[in-house]
Structure 1
Amino acid sequence: MHVSVLASGSTGNCVYVETPEKKMIVDAGLSGKKITSLLAEIDRTPDELDAIFVTHEHTDHIKGVGILSRKYGIDIYANELTWQAMAKNIGNIALDHRHIFEMGKTMTLGDIDVESFGVSHDAAAPQFYQFHRNNKAFAVLTDTGYCSDRIKGTIKNADAYVIESNHDVEMLRMGGYPWHLKQRILGDKGHLSNEDGALVMTELIGDKTKKLFLGHLSRENNIKELAHMTMNHTLQVHDIDTVNTVKLYDTDPDYATDLFAI
């Protein structure tokens, strides 16, 4: 299994996963043109994609879903409430490309198993995904106000993670967002802060865990270096070796990471 975080941030999100048999993305929150250019950075093309797994209906996760599916005949997977919520924004999708992926279920596509799990976010029925192949696991967890014990039990000790480091709390509080938006982000259906995401990882990291991608950083309320420093410091305080054992990787809203083997 190989992965690349094509884009991650408050302006658009897309994560690429491939196996010998399947190529897929989690979300398509940028234009079709931008996702095509991001795929080119890892020497891939959108016509190779077999599936798009949608987490929820917010624009930074679905902007390119409809156009990619129509242009390249890509299957789309989402739960029923998410389908209903995003229908008006993604346009007409061919019936044979529409698939219901129930929350809490596991689906097999070729040589990979995809597991869905619910999160706490202000969307119709937000769910994220964990990919399993050959006793390896890769979990994507962003857009959640908190990480429940149920989620922790589902994705504990994966080989690699994309974990939310959305905002620095003080930057958010002192910034220019209106109060109601600040409350939303800080609430139980908002986003994980740098500190919260780091503390979650202290409970998730196990002896298999080797790679950690910091995702969904806010342009206005975070700095890449600050998110990285917070994660690194918190893990080290909890005796997790970020030099030799667990490697930290930054993500970007405009550039893809390298294609990593999991």
Structure 2
Amino acid sequence: MSMHFSVLASGSTGNAIFVSDGEQSLLVDAGLSGKQMEALFQQVDRDIKQLSGILVTHEHSDHIKGLGVLARKYQLPIYANEKTWKAMEGLIGEIHSDQRFIFNIGEAKTFGSMQVESFGVSHDAAEPMFFVFHQGNKKLTLITDTGYVSDRMKGIIKDSDAFVFESNHDVDMLRMGRYPWSVKRRILSDVGHVSNEDAALALADVIGNQTKRIYLAHLSQDNNMKEIARMSVAQVLQSKGYGVGEQFSLYDTDPKKPTDVVYL
């Protein structure tokens, strides 16, 4: 069966992505409560009990809120790098040793017919990382929670069939918004989050002939809107000569509602 996925939830209140090849299924992050996660799986007609494991990108609460509950209830393996495991101590409760697995930056692990490659990003966490999923010639990239997209990252993620890509904030909305300046400075920094415009500029360097779907992810509830993100990204990409809606399509993600399950 071909690789398929759903962005179960994405935003500043919680993040989770389901990826499967029909034989093995993985959850990337579990940033909502256990009950909310179970409801999201029901909405996409998938069974949490069938998961092969949970991959963790970093220890911030909007990525691990339901992690311990789900792992204990369904006896699921958790994969995270050593620094993230250390940072999660005291945040996710007791996890049995036979459920704890190390997945370090730069490694690749095989799950069924999928090879999952990890890569580092620039974010204010212990050792944040995201993932590229490969199956045959198909490629799915997940990249949010980074202050910028380096040439190294671009080389790893280039020409994916689908991108789940951070488009966190509109810079003007953030600057004029209610956040204290210290928080604004953190978001705008190299270890914060990528803006709509910066997301589009990075995408312009990595979109390839295979690219068909781009999901704008991790939108700030206070400093962005789906319409603004989509319009801003589309305008920049069109100015770079890309046929948005022709070569590929832009899709929204939502903090409470899953995207349709899509087969690559």
Q: TM-score, normalised by structure 1?
A: 0.99
* Runs of 4+ residues deviating >3 angstroms: none
- In structure 2, stretches of 5+ residues that fail to align are none
Residues in 1 aligned to 2:34 and 2:244: alpha-carbon distance in whole angstroms: 36
SS at match of 1:24: strand
* Deviation at residue 236 of structure 1 after TM alignment: 1.2
2:52, 2:77 within 8 Å by CA — same for their partners in 1?
Answer: yes
* Deviation at residue 20 of structure 1 after TM alignment: 2.1
SS at match of 1:214: strand
2:141 maps to which residue? 139
1:191 maps to which residue? 193
SS at match of 1:192: coil
- Aligned partner (choices 243, 248, 255) of residue 253 of structure 1: 255
Residues in 2 aligned to 1:109 and 1:151: alpha-carbon distance in whole angstroms: 23
- Aligned partner (choices 158, 161, 164) of residue 159 of structure 1: 161
* Deviation at residue 94 of structure 1 after TM alignment: 1.4
Does structure 1 residue 83 correspond to structure 2 residue 104?
Answer: no
Does structure 1 residue 11 correspond to structure 2 residue 13?
Answer: yes
Residues in 2 aligned to 1:258 and 1:209: alpha-carbon distance in whole angstroms: 18
2:208 maps to which residue? 206
1:23 maps to which residue? 25
Residues in 1 aligned to 2:69 and 2:253: alpha-carbon distance in whole angstroms: 24
Residues in 1 aligned to 2:87 and 2:245: alpha-carbon distance in whole angstroms: 43
Residues in 1 aligned to 2:45 and 2:243: alpha-carbon distance in whole angstroms: 32
SS at match of 1:88: coil
Code of the residue aligned with 2:263 in structure 1: it is A
Q: Deviations over 1:144-188 (max 9, x none)?
A: 000011000011001100000100000000001001000000000
Q: Which stretch of structure 1 is more off in the superposition, 104-113 or 169-178?
A: 104-113
- In structure 1, stretches of 5+ residues that fail to align are none
Residues in 2 aligned to 1:51 and 1:199: alpha-carbon distance in whole angstroms: 33
* Deviation at residue 244 of structure 1 after TM alignment: 2.0
Q: Which stretch of structure 1 is more off in the superposition, 41-50 or 204-213?
A: 41-50
Code of the residue aligned with 1:209 in structure 2: it is T
